[in-house]
Structure 1
Amino acid sequence: MANSSGVYSLFLLNLFLFGTMFSSATLFTLENRCSFTVWPGSLAGTGPALGDGGFALAPGSSSQLQPPPGWSGRFWGRTGCNFDNSGAGKCVTGNCGGGLKCTGGGEPPVSLVEFTLNGSDNKDFYDVSLVDGYNLGIAVKAIGGTGSCQYAGCVKDLNIDCPAELQMSDSGSVVACKSACAAFNTPEYCCTADHGTPQTCSPTKYSQLFKNACPTAYSYAYDDATSTMTCIGSDYVITFCPTES
């Protein structure tokens, strides 16, 4: 039987190891630079739902979330939401199952930030994706990591220049810009069937419009070369309505 001194030493060691592991974990900071409330949504691919799946973020405010090692998932911003006291309700864009706390992904058109932490060679992989369309500006910036750690984002308001055939409107205003896949549902735009490989699915005039406006964001399914970023040991700031790249 261990003596009390040994038990106490073991307790201190475990506390130190836990504290070291916790302090070295990735930290996500979500900040709202929009002039209106944004309701961030989150969906995990691996690990728990962060922020209980969704919450309100007032203009000028921020919130911090800490994922476990190896977490993967996505964040997006919902707009025009109305929830009752039980959390039931819906959003004009980015809706996710009819509740404050998302149980699924955001309904297109929606701008996404996607992460896979501690992947190959312990790298974090992250991107901003407009493959599901665009509803508001979003960006991710790596803080304090090593490697390329590039900025990824979409600063320009694509709703202003969205082609008429891609527009999603509410109360007479354009609130989101659909992807060509969502608008036309053809293999050429969705990278399916005989267009289902990188060699047979090329950029289109619509994806190129997204790419020209937001060069570091995914514009269509096989836009990997200029859109997937990597970093090691970083924290990340995710900004809604960023003003600079």
Structure 2
Amino acid sequence: MNSIFFLLTLLFITYTDAATILVRNNCPDPVWAAGVPGGGKRLDRDQEWTIDAPPGTKQARVWARTGCNFDASGKGKCETGDCNGVLECKSFGVPPNTLAEYALNQFGGNDFIDISLVDGFNVPMEFSPASNGCTRVITCNAKINEQCPTELKAPGGCNNPCTVFKTDEYCCNSGSCNPTNFSKFFKERCPDAYSYPQDDKTSLFTCPAGTNYKVVFCP
């Protein structure tokens, strides 16, 4: 009897440490939502897609792809966020793309969540908890594409300087770096979001393990 109770308890804990990520497109044009884990799906305006993230998932992300064209077999290409030319992503997208990143049930029994512009920006985004009493809403809803510095402009988006210049100053390859004029451009417009790789202090947030989430494009 005790072993059965233990097994049921273990199954309950495992289940509650998983997360459902509801992805919604509020943009006027279609986006091709992508997730690792998750795959990918075309979303017209007001359409939604659900990702079931397994317990303990880490280094996970959700993003929007734009300007895509796929054939019946799910092969094609996107202007931003392309993942090796397939509809069902198994790898991360090509910059520039706005990222919702998460890791489930990590240190202290918490989920860690953020919006990152370390891979640049293509679509405004909101990333928010949808259960478990967690209320921290993260947003990046600025007109970054229109205001993008000339050096960082890319078709359909705005690159992060690491993508363009590939230097330690911008990429933090040595493990230590500071804000730059380019990272400050992103931070001033989206103070909740990562603007460079070591921007943890003002950009990384937690919710209790077992929380479900919502990602909205063009909130």
Task: Answer whether TM exceeds 0.5 for this pair.
Answer: yes
Shift of 1:16: 10
Aligned residues: 214
Distance of 2:89 and 2:64 partners within structure 1: 12
The 1:23/1:190 distance shift into structure 2, 3 A limit, reads closer
The 1:69/1:103 distance shift into structure 2, 3 A limit, reads closer
Superposed, 1:73-152 pairs within 5 Å as 73-146=60-133, 149-152=135-138
Distance of 2:106 and 2:15 partners within structure 1: 18
- Larger-Rg structure: 1
Unaligned runs of 5+ in 2: none
- CA RMSD, Structure 1 to Structure 2 (Å): 2.3
Shift of 1:146: 4.2
Shift of 1:65: 2.0
Distance of 2:8 and 2:211 partners within structure 1: 23
Q: 1:236 aligns with which of 210, 213, 219?
A: 213
Read off the aligned partner of 1:235 and give its amino acid letter: N
Number of the residue aligned with 1:203: 179
Superposed, 1:207-226 pairs within 5 Å as 207-226=183-202
Equivalent pairs: percent with the same residue?
41
Distance of 2:10 and 2:120 partners within structure 1: 43
Q: 2:173 aligns with which of 187, 192, 199?
A: 192
Q: Answer yes or no: is 1:40 the counterpart of 2:21.
A: no
Distance of 1:180 and 1:17 partners within structure 2: 45
Distance of 1:114 and 1:25 partners within structure 2: 15
Number of the residue aligned with 1:154: 140
Residue aligned with 2:63, SS: strand
Structure 1 residue ranges (4+ consecutive) displaced by more than 3 angstroms after TM superposition: 14-25
**Given that residues 111 and 135 in structure 1 are in contact (C-alpha distance below 8 angstroms), is that contact kept between their aligned partners in structure 2?**
yes
**Given that residues 136 and 157 in structure 1 are in contact (C-alpha distance below 8 angstroms), is that contact kept between their aligned partners in structure 2?**
no
**Given that residues 142 and 235 in structure 1 are in contact (C-alpha distance below 8 angstroms), is that contact kept between their aligned partners in structure 2?**
yes
Select the structure that is richer in strand: 2
Unaligned runs of 5+ in 1: 1-9, 44-48, 170-174
The 1:23/1:131 distance shift into structure 2, 3 A limit, reads closer
Distance of 2:200 and 2:13 partners within structure 1: 35
Shift of 1:153: 2.2
Residue aligned with 1:216, SS: coil
CA deviation vs aligned residue, 1:116-137 (integer Å, no higher than 9, x gap)? 0011121000100000111111
**Given that residues 87 and 100 in structure 1 are in contact (C-alpha distance below 8 angstroms), is that contact kept between their aligned partners in structure 2?**
yes
Residue aligned with 1:80, SS: coil
**Given that residues 17 and 104 in structure 2 are in contact (C-alpha distance below 8 angstroms), is that contact kept between their aligned partners in structure 1?**
no
Number of the residue aligned with 2:52: 66
Shift of 1:64: 1.8
Q: Answer yes or no: is 1:177 the counterpart of 2:176.
A: no
Residue aligned with 1:66, SS: strand
